[in-house]
Each structure stands twice: as C-alpha cells, then as structure tokens.
C-alpha cells in the first residue's frame, strides 16, 4: 500500500529528472527503495528469453539471470501479466533472494508498442505488503522509465 502523497512525490521526481537509461532507472530505484515496506527494489531487463538484473537497491541476489517462465519474475513475462504475491511461501515456482522476503510484486515495463522491455520487482518482509495501489504506482513508474529506457 502506497500513499497518494508518496506516489505523487516520486512520480514527479522521476518525470522531472534529467537522467536517461540506467541512470534514470537507478534514480527511480533509489527513490522507491525508501518507501515503507519496500525491502528490495530492482529492475530486470528482458534480453531475448532471459531477464537480466539491472539497477537495484537491497541485498545482493544470486538471481541475476532468470529464464522466462522461472520464478515470479519469469512468470510475469511468460503470462504477460503483473504478479502480486501475498505470501511467497505458498508458491512452488519461487526463486528466493532472501529468507526475510514474505511478499513480492512484479510489474512489467512495456514500450508504446506493448513489447516487454523488462520489469520492476519489489520484495517485502511482511505478508501482503503490496496491493493494487502499488501495482498502479509501479505501472506509472514503468511508463516514465520506458520512454527513456
């Protein structure tokens, strides 16, 4: 759950930024990572049939290359659908980055033609940390990032 004030503040900052590409993505992850409940904030770029870890803020992860279809991240691409997982312990197809993670949201980043450029992946330490407000916010972040990908 993100407040309207936090959402507006961060979206305004990203829109007003003069950065492009990986610098803009790093700036966005830095801003997002300070939100309450956002314990790991990262971006994966889709390169062919593999998701490649891009800019992130949080613990280092072993999952730097994720094939499409694997884990929550790979499922988002395979299904062409955002993923909001209330409790990752209930999933079979889950790639654990931290034993502290209880919930996760993955929102696809697409270009104007609808092709998937990558995704924003957020982990939370609480069960049910993310809802439709976070999905909507991250979709908006993704739209700004896609323009200057």
Can you spell out the DSSP letters for 46-109?
A: EETTEEEEEEEESS--S-SEEETTSHHHHHHHHHTS-EEES-GGG-SS---S-TT--EEEEEEE
For ligand SME, which is the closer residue by CB, 7 or 101? 101
For ligand SME, which is the closer residue by CB, 9 or 65? 65
Rounded Cα gap, residues 25 and 47, in angstroms: 16
Rounded Cα gap, residues 101 and 18, in angstroms: 33
For ligand SME, which is the closer residue by CB, 125 or 148? 125
Rounded Cα gap, residues 122 and 76, in angstroms: 13
Closest-by-Cβ residue to ligand SME is 71
For ligand SME, which is the closer residue by CB, 17 or 135? 135
CA distances from 102 to 74, 79, 86, 147 (A): 18, 22, 7, 32
Contacting positions for ligand SME (CB under 6 A): 40, 42, 61, 63, 66, 71-73, 94-95, 97, 104, 121, 123
For ligand SME, which is the closer residue by CB, 40 or 137? 40
Supply the minimum distance, in Å, between the C-beta of residue 12 and ligand SME.
27
Supply the minimum distance, in Å, between the C-beta of residue 10 and ligand SME.
20
Q: CA neighbours within 13 Å on the CB side: how many for 51?
A: 29
Tokens of residue 112, six digits? 């104007």
Supply the minimum distance, in Å, between the C-beta of residue 5 and ligand SME.
27
Supply the minimum distance, in Å, between the C-beta of residue 70 and ligand SME.
7
Supply the minimum distance, in Å, between the C-beta of residue 121 and ligand SME.
6
């Amino acid at each position: 759950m993100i407040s309207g004030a936090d959402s507006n503040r961060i979206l305004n900052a990203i829109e007003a930024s003069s950065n492009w590409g990986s610098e803009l993505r790093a700036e966005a992850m830095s801003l997002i990572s300070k939100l309450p409940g956002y314990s790991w904030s990262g971006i994966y770029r889709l390169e062919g049939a593999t998701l490649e870890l891009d800019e992130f803020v949080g613990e280092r992860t072993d999952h730097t290359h994720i094939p499409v279809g694997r884990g929550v991240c790979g499922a988002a691409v395979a299904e062409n659908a955002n993923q909001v997982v209330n409790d990752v312990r209930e999933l079979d197809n889950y790639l654990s980055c931290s034993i502290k993670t209880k919930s996760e949201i993955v929102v696809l980043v697409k270009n104007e033609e609808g092709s998937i450029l990558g995704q924003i992946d957020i982990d939370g330490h609480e069960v049910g940390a993310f809802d439709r407000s976070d999905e909507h916010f991250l979709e908006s972040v993704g739209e700004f990032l896609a323009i200057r990908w």
